[in-house]
Amino acid sequence: MAKESVRLGTVQETLLIPLYGRALDAKARRPILRDDRARAMVESIDYDFAKFRGPSLGGSVLRSAIFDGWVARFLAEHPDGTVIELGAGLSTRSHRLDNGRARWFDLDLPDTVQLRRRFFTDSERTTALAASVLDTDWFEQVARTGGPYFFVSEAVLLYFREEQVRSVVRALAGRFPGACLSFDTGGGAMMRNQDRNPVFKAVDARMTWTCDDPKSLEDWGLRLRESRTFATPQPDVGRTWPRRHRYGMPLLARLVPPAVNSYRMNLFSLEKAE
Ligand SMILES: C[S@@+](CC[C@H](N)C(=O)[O-])C[C@H]1O[C@@H](n2cnc3c(N)ncnc32)[C@H](O)[C@@H]1O
């Protein structure tokens, strides 16, 4: 069968990195996410995935597991809630965690959504939105569900400038006060190392927004509820990881603290901005 060709913008192409990470995990002896859909997508896309190497592939799986833990907890508390994936790429979170009742939106730029639509069909409860996180024209479609809302933005805001991230947060806080917003932040040590990271040698995109302390973002209309690293996942999430991560990450964090502590997964609630 002919493989699917991809034509994606520079940042959009980075979605293929976590996709490949999840596909490799699916093939592992002890998978963490068991994302067989990612594996099937990688097999059907015409792209040189093998050029992606290094620890970021496994890291993207650990990251998704931490975000999954928060989304799963939200859905346990709010089974009819709305989960909005900002910069969804080819994320399969809605398939991994669906409870048969929740409402899901997968938002990404038009070229990514075009690719996404080759693999996923909208349903009554699942909608792909071709829009930018930087715009607000999609807000009302999401708001019509009535919430409560959980926004998850995984490996997306890092590619923006700080003032862009701030305006995304302020706009969300203004329209969805009280909602949960989760996203990852990278400190200076991580940002400075990008050119040495094998996955970034294989793409042109570079992360730009540096944030050493997610607590400092509270000035933007956020309240930090949890901040985690690969060494400090939620205990119930960490228990599902193979030993080399469960014990290896805390050890690495002790030996080379910036290598682990500079990259953080954060859970905030949105306060109304003054
Ligand atoms: C590294 S990928 C992460 C994809 C997905 N979150 C995951 O973890 O598999 C970055 C994603 O951000 C998306 N993106 C970049 N700029 C965006 C914007 N302005 N609005 C919406 N999505 C954007 C890209 O298209 C891409 O899918």
What is the SS3 assignment for 149-167? Answer: EEEEECCCHHHCCHHHHHH
Ligand 1, atom 2, lies closest to the CA of 15
User: Quick check: 207 and 191 in contact, CB under 8 A?
Assistant: yes
pLDDT for position 242: 96
Q: Which residues pair with 152 in a beta bridge?
A: 85, 182
The gap between the terminal CA atoms of the chain, to the nearest Å, is 56
Residues lining ligand 1, Cβ inside 6 A: 11-12, 14-15, 18, 87-89, 91, 107-109, 112, 132-134, 154-156, 159
Q: What is the pLDDT of residues 107-129, one digit of tens each?
A: 999 999 999 999 999 999 999 99
Ligand 1, atom 27, lies closest to the CA of 89
| Type of residue found at 4 | E
pLDDT for position 274: 52
Atom of ligand 1 nearest to the CA of 15: 2
- Ligand 1 centroid to Cα of residue 91, in Å, is 10
Strands (E), 187-236: 222-228
Query: Which has the higher per-residue pLDDT, 5 or 138?
Result: 138
- Ligand 1 centroid to Cα of residue 255, in Å, is 32
pLDDT for position 272: 66
Tokens 């998850």 sit at which residue?
152
Give domain limits for the chain. Answer: 12-270
Q: Which residues pair with 108 in a beta bridge?
A: 130
- The residue count for the chain: 274
Print burial letters for 221-230: b (CB count within 10 Å at least 16), e (below 16): bbeeebebbb
CATH of 12-270, one of 3.40.50.10420, 3.40.50.150, 3.10.580.10, 2.60.120.10: 3.40.50.150
Work out whether strand 82-86 and strand 103-108 pair parallel, antiparallel, or are unpaired: parallel
| Type of residue found at 161 | R
